Structure 1
Amino acid sequence: MTDFRISYGTEVAVALRDGRPVVALESTIVSHGLPRPQNLRVAREIEQAVRDAGAVPATIGMIGGELVVGLDDAQLTRLATVDGVTKLSVRDLAVAAATGADGATTVAATSAVAAAAGIGVFATGGLGGVHREAAHTFDESADLVTLAQTPITVVCAGVKSILDVGATLERLETLGVAVIGYRTRRFPGFYLTDAGFDLDWSVDSPEQVAAVLAARDEHAVHTGGLLVANPLPVDEQLDPELHDRTLAEGLARLERDGVTGKAVTPYLLAYFHAATEGASLAVNVRIILRNADLAARIAVAAVARTSAVPA
């Protein structure tokens, strides 16, 4: 990743130079995860949530083949409103750059670019993972392998409940990606507060997460990512019965329409939005705003801890 030319927004460049807290944000949620015109409004709200918690937002994307860390409002508007924006994972970055594409970065690509830019904390909605029927299709998100290789802390609401959550947790363990619950010992399922799986570790504050990051750096025995699972409060989750019914219907339609690969997640999220009459979209927005706030507070705590250490 360090061979790619990265352009920096002015606010982000100054913050990185001055050692201020910065939080990376993906652009796929803007271009492919939320419907128009709400996507641009929510993208701005996400950035504001980071600012309100004391950090600088760095939304990452590709404009005309150029990787940008810290999209300005015009660039954000472009990715939110124009047709033909490509969904970019790590493998796509070189080709997209060479062909001058407009692109929205996934969790994997955002993590890799953020780490290359020196940003250590990243907020997203839900992590990608192992797809259902992966034993036959071998369909697994690049998010998992990328996190195993990238020193980034990702704040998310677990993995999307449309995936195989149990298999995803097994893969994260195999890949050596640490998972800690934020004020919980249960792994969240994106729309759902509890996906039905226990966690070994839990923390209660941003300062504790910062302490984990400091210990990781001090011991220097692991260079991969850290997953901070931040569940929605029970009264803010999607109704579980509605969720389960919608998921079953969506999976049936998915098979009927022959949708595969990276088109699966946008397809199912769009179906959830339509079938729940917007309820899932409201939950999705609550998720990313809460995660942006927590990620910013972690970034602030990490900088404060570093600044307090004698030279």
Structure 2
Amino acid sequence: MTTGAPVPLAAGFGDLSELRTARRAHGGRWLAAALILAVLALLVRAFARGQIEWDYVGRFLTVPVILDGIVATVVMAVCAMALGIVLGVAVAIMRLTPNPVLRAVAAGYTWLFRGTPVILQLLLWFNLALVFPVIGIPGLWSGRAVDLMTPFFAALLGLGINQGAYTSEVVRAGLLSVDQGQYEAAQTIGMGRMTALRRIILPQAMRVIIPPLGNEFIGMVKTTSLASVIQYPEVLHNAENIYYANSRVIELLIVAGIWYLAVVSVLTPLQMLLERRFARGVAGGRR
């Protein structure tokens, strides 16, 4: 039992009540904070005193062409991410199947589209007519590739198929995180492989899949800017068209940056809510 009396230490050291707590010096923290504040002050001063017409930033922030670009950016991000998720789930399942042919095809797909730059893939899709002048199903339907490969469709294929390669690894990691006993339990009650994946494995894997997938979607919003090279009218492309006409380069780039930050700021709390929902019932998850 404790009595509250001072506890004697070894001979010659007195008791605990005579000891004082020494405060740790935090000079490094204060120095780092001072350096950060100094850099921020220099940046603010540079933008404030630079040749930037802030009136133009406010004026072009809500012009129709910029707002249309924001809509096009969000639409492309959603569509490309949806295509990437569908492909990613299919490829992840193929990677885990016992069929060696499907595993090889899935591994090759991941290797190819993760190993080449996104901008290169966009340009290849947009110029597909140089390789396949006509696209279609023999005897049923066909069309000229130059008419079919519009900037929207080329951007959708380029971004979506590339995203599918990365998403497949995220989904595969989530599936591997589920204990092997879950697969065996599903088999013992007569479930097929696909039924077990849909009803048991995937729901449990979602808590591992959702966080990186949310980050991938936020990244996709910014990656759509690469589609400007094939004339897709997203916000950066439209901002470029404006500053080509009025030479207000920095002002229009700031406008585009503000809108990207606004979209990401809206998506981030939504991602956190989704993560919290799928984390319910596990250690560290909030209800």
TM-score using structure 2 length: 0.34
Higher helix share: 2
The structure with more radius of gyration: 2
What TM-score comes out, normalization by structure 1 length? 0.32
Higher relative contact order (CA 8 A, sep 6+): 2
